[in-house]
Amino acid sequence: MNQTFQVQGMSCGHCVRAVTQAVQRLDPQAKVEVQLERGQVEVASEQPRAAIAKAIAEEGYPVAA
């Protein structure tokens, strides 16, 4: 299932890697697409939305509700 998150504080390739790795630690099969200019992260995963948002936030990137 595809889910889109508004994520604050992403600005570079390091941010993209950090967010991608955080999601893939939760779900190694997840497909993650980051759009820096929009501050969006699109995730294809069966994991609950709240769990994905928490993984991203714990990496230091606040997720808008």
Amino acid 65: pLDDT? 72
Q: Where are the domains of the chain?
A: 2-58
**Residue 45: beta bridge partners?**
none
Q: Grade residue 42 by pLDDT with cuts at 50, 70 and 90.
A: very high
Long-range contact list for 7-14, CB < 8 A, 24+ apart? 7/39, 7/40, 7/41, 7/56, 7/61, 7/62, 7/63, 7/64, 8/39, 8/61, 8/62, 8/63, 8/64, 9/60, 9/61, 9/62, 10/34, 10/36, 10/39, 10/41, 10/61, 11/36, 12/36
pLDDT per position as a tens digit, 2-40: 999 999 999 999 999 999 999 999 999 999 999 999 999
The class level of CATH for 2-58 reads alpha beta
